[in-house]
Amino acid sequence: MIETKQAVLPAAALQRQREYAEKVRELVCRRYNHPPLAYVHSFGCQQNQSDGEKIKGMLAEMGYGFGDAPETADLVIYNTCAVRENAEDRVFGNVGALKPLKKQRPELLIGLCGCMMQQEQVAEKIKKSYPYVDLVFGTHALYTLPELLYNRLSGEKRQFSLEDSPGSIVEGLPVRRDGTIKANLPIMYGCDNFCTYCIVPYVRGRERSRRPEDVLKEARELVEQGYKEITLLGQNVNSYGKGLDEPMDFSELLRQINDIPGEFIIRFMTSHPKDCTLKLIDTIRDCQKVCNHIHLPVQSGSNRVLQAMNRHYTVEEYLHLIEYAKAQIPGVTFSSDIIVGFPGETYEEFLQTLKLIQQVEYSALYTFIYSPRQGTKAASLPDPVPEGEKSKWLRELLDVESQIRNHQQQALVGQTIRVLADGEGRTGPGWISGRTISNDIVEFTAPTSCIGSFVNVKIERALNWAVFGTLV
Ligand code: SAH
Ligand code: SF4
Ligand code: F3S
Terminal Cα distance for the chain, rounded: 55
Task: Give Cβ neighbours of residue 128 (< 8 Å, ≥ 6 apart).
Answer: none
What CATH topology corresponds to 10-161? Rossmann fold (3.40.50)
Cα 140 from Cα 122, distance rounded (Å) = 16
339 C-alpha vs ligand 1 centroid, how far in Å? 8
- What is the residue with the minimal CA distance to atom 19 of ligand 1? 198
Which string of DSSP letters, residue by residue, matches 363-394?
A: SEEEEEE----TTSSGGGS---S-HHHHHHHH
Q: Choose which residue among 54, 81, 91, 270 to substitute to test ligand 3 binding: the one with the highest number of ligand atoms within 8 A of its C-beta.
A: 81
297 lines ligand 1 (CB under 6 A): yes
77 C-alpha vs ligand 1 centroid, how far in Å? 24
C-alpha dihedral, 228 to 216 to 175 to 158, nearest 10°: -140
- List phi, psi (to 5°) of 422: -125, 5
* pLDDT score recorded for residue 6: 62
CB 244 within 8 A of CB 212: yes
Query: Which residue type, as a one-letter code, is found at position 47?
Result: Q
455 C-alpha vs ligand 1 centroid, how far in Å? 34
Question: What DSSP element (H or E) covers 435?
Answer: strand 431-435
Q: Report the CATH superfamily, name and number, of domain 182-410.
A: tm_1862 like domain (3.80.30.20)
Q: Choose which residue among 368, 383, 393, 394 to substitute to test ligand 1 binding: the one with the highest number of ligand atoms within 8 A of its C-beta.
A: 368
- List phi, psi (to 5°) of 300: -155, 155
Cα 70 from Cα 350, distance rounded (Å) = 42
What ranges do the domains of the chain cover? 10-161, 182-410, 416-471
Per-residue pLDDT reduced to its tens digit, 260-302: 999 999 999 999 999 999 999 999 999 999 999 999 999 999 9
How many CB atoms within 10 Å of residue 118?
A: 25
82 C-alpha vs ligand 3 centroid, how far in Å? 6
* pLDDT score recorded for residue 229: 98
SS3 of 211-278: the string is CHHHHHHHHHHHHHCCCCEEEEECCCHHHCCCCCCCCCCHHHHHHHHHCCCCCCEEEEECCCHHHCCH
Q: Is 460 helix (H, G, I), strand (E, B) or coil?
A: strand
Those residues of the chain that have pLDDT short of 50 are: 1-4
Ligand nearest to the CA of 207: 2
Ligand nearest to the CA of 366: 1
115 lines ligand 3 (CB under 6 A): yes
Cα 93 from Cα 112, distance rounded (Å) = 13
- List phi, psi (to 5°) of 191: -155, 140
* pLDDT score recorded for residue 5: 53
Strand order across the beta sheet in which 182-186 lies? 182-186, 229-233, 265-269
How many CB atoms within 10 Å of residue 72?
A: 9
Which string of DSSP letters, residue by residue, matches 264-333?
A: -EEEEE---GGG--HHHHHHHHH-TTB-SEEE---B-S-HHHHHHTT----HHHHHHHHHHHHHHSTT-E
- What is the residue with the minimal CA distance to atom 2 of ligand 2? 195
CB 464 within 8 A of CB 407: no
* Eight-state DSSP code of residue 120: H
* pLDDT score recorded for residue 86: 95
Q: Choose which residue among 41, 42, 45, 198 to substitute to test ligand 3 binding: the one with the highest number of ligand atoms within 8 A of its C-beta.
A: 45
Task: Give Cβ neighbours of residue 65 (< 8 Å, ≥ 6 apart).
Answer: 35, 36, 37, 38
83 lines ligand 3 (CB under 6 A): yes
Cα 77 from Cα 169, distance rounded (Å) = 22
Q: Which pairs from 376-381 meet CB under 8 Å and 24+ separation? A: 376/196, 376/197, 376/198, 376/199, 376/202, 377/194, 377/196, 377/310, 378/196, 378/197, 378/308, 378/309, 378/342, 378/343, 381/196, 381/308, 381/343, 381/344
Question: What DSSP element (H or E) covers 412?
Answer: helix 387-412
Nearest atom in ligand 3 to the alpha carbon of residue 235 is 7
C-alpha dihedral, 21 to 157 to 53 to 299, nearest 10°: -150
Cα 446 from Cα 289, distance rounded (Å) = 24
Task: Give Cβ neighbours of residue 140 (< 8 Å, ≥ 6 apart).
Answer: 118, 163, 164, 165, 167, 168, 205
Cα 215 from Cα 223, distance rounded (Å) = 12
Q: Among positive and negative, which fits the CA dihedral 449, 452, 456, 459?
A: positive
pTM of the full structure: 0.96
Task: Give Cβ neighbours of residue 211 (< 8 Å, ≥ 6 apart).
Answer: 6, 8, 244
- The architecture in CATH of the region 416-471 reads Beta Barrel (2.40)
